[in-house]
Amino acid sequence: MWRIKKDLLLDAIHSAKRYMPAEFICFLGGDRKKERVEEIVFLPSNTSETSASIDEYSVPIDETLIGSLHSHPYSTNRPSSQDKKFFLKYPLNLILGFPYTIENIGFYDQRGEKIGVLLEQY
Is 83 one of the binding residues for Zn ion (CB under 5 A)? yes
Q: Please, what is the minimum distance in Å from the beta carbon of residue 39 to Zn ion?
A: 22
How would you label 85-111 residue by residue, b for 16+ Cβ within 10 Å and e otherwise? Answer: ebbebbbbbbbbbbebeeebbbbbeee
Is 46 one of the binding residues for Zn ion (CB under 5 A)? no
Kind and range of the H or E run holding 17 = helix 6-19
Q: Please, what is the minimum distance in Å from the beta carbon of residue 75 to Zn ion?
A: 8
Q: Please, what is the minimum distance in Å from the beta carbon of residue 76 to Zn ion?
A: 10
Is 106 one of the binding residues for Zn ion (CB under 5 A)? no
Q: What is the size of the binding site for Zn ion (CB under 5 A)? A: 1
The residue number whose beta carbon is nearest to Zn ion equals: 83
CA distance 66 to 35: 9
Could you give the strand order of the β-sheet that contains 3-5, starting from the edge strand earlier in sequence? Answer: 105-108, 92-96, 65-71, 25-31, 36-41, 3-5, 118-120
Q: Please, what is the minimum distance in Å from the beta carbon of residue 31 to Zn ion?
A: 25
The residue range among 1-9, 32-40, 56-64, 80-88 that interacts with Zn ion, by the rule CB under 5 A, is 80-88
Binding site for Zn ion (CB under 5 A): 83
